[in-house]
Amino acid sequence: MKDFLPERFIDIHTHVWLDSFRLQTTNAPVRAVTWPYLVAQENPIEHLFETYRLMFPGKEVTPLIFSQVSLEYDINAGNEYVSNCAKEHRLPSLMVTMPGQSASEFEEGIERGGFLGCKVYLNFAESYIPEKEIRIYDFLPPHQLEVLNRRGWMAMLHIPRDGRLKDPVNLAQMLEIERKYPSLKLIIAHVGRAYCPEDVGNAFEILAETKNMVFDFSANTNSYVFEQLIKAVGPKRILFGSDLPILRLRTKRICENGTYVNLVPKGLYGDVSGDKHMREIVDDEAEKLTFFMYEEIDAFRLAAESQGLNRSNIEDVFYHNAKSLIDSIDKKNSN
């Protein structure tokens, strides 16, 4: 992988936060998988830099950072920490935003913090909406999309719903956002959560018609999905992202009956017996496990080779595409 990776690259999808931001009491509904919280209790900016130093010796990695996306944490404290880290280390960053924010609160918060846009998440949809019925507009509402479009800002979108990328409601709203808000820089995280072939359906046939939205492949290790993505949108609309710190997980991901399963060394992450996405393995099999990060990059390497991507294409995916996106917003903000 060392020779496959460019000398410098941009990680478009990373979380940094402190455990001190955790709230003492919360009645927040659980609307997401819980296994990521087993990997890291916190991820200060120093830990992020150390992860890159250890995992990518000799490479220069620039992260785009944002905070935790959970109601169990103080969102304002997380955003302030990210803003300060970004200013100190000259990093691009996104503000974690809430759908209840007015257009003016939303815009002023992003501008005041020096953010390039927003990171939104289904956890922040109104608590009365059942998880399976959450739609994109429930946590990225039109009045905020209008601000993002007018300012040419970025939105990092983790799509909801059990159907993941192939869900017709998700696809309809993604297409509508592209059509109605053409100046918005929309990033679809995790290739739309298509972690297994069964998550794809006819999504890439539909998404091949799009022109603006881009896709990061963070926390995804499925070469088949990556191949279909490359065929549908080409290497200019794909971004490397990690979703650190969870990519420090020692794991190999497999798919069984359309569900992803993370194979992990027995005992390393506590009791995982109640999590359908986690399975412990032992002895030689466990000893051979590497990091989630390497599994993700290697899966993309295999897909890139199968689709005939050249060196220039790889540099676009890992560096130039993200840099162009970030630079276009920075230029607008400075005008």
Q: Give the span between the Cα atoms of 165 and 190, in whole angstroms.
A: 10
Is the pLDDT at 308 greater than 60? The verdict is yes
In sequence order, what DSSP letters do the residues of 135-182 get, joined into one string? -GGGTS-HHHHHHHHHHT-EEEE---STTGGG-HHHHHHHHHHHHH-T
Q: How confident is the model at residue 25 (pLDDT cuts 50, 70, 90)?
A: confident
In sequence order, what DSSP letters do the residues of 313-331 get, joined into one string? HHHIIIIIHHHHHHHHHHH
Is the pLDDT at 55 greater than 70? The verdict is yes
Give the model confidence (pLDDT) of 143-173 as tens digits.
999 999 999 999 999 999 999 999 999 999 9
Q: Give the span between the Cα atoms of 152 and 187, in whole angstroms.
A: 13
Give the model confidence (pLDDT) of 97-127 as tens digits.
999 999 999 999 999 999 999 999 999 999 9
Q: How confident is the model at residue 264 (pLDDT cuts 50, 70, 90)?
A: very high
Q: Give the span between the Cα atoms of 237 and 215, in whole angstroms.
A: 6
Measured N-to-C along each axis, helices 75-89 and 103-113 cross at an angle, to the nearest 10 degrees, of 30
Phi-psi domain of 274 (left: phi exceeds 0; alpha: psi -120 through 50; beta: other): alpha
- Cβ–Cβ contacts within 10 Å for residue 254, how many? 13
Single out the residue of 204, 216, 226, 196 nearest to residue 306, CA to CA: 226
Hey, which residues does 117 pair with through a beta bridge? 154
Give the model confidence (pLDDT) of 185-216 as tens digits.
999 999 999 999 999 999 999 999 999 999 99
- pTM of the predicted protein model: 0.97
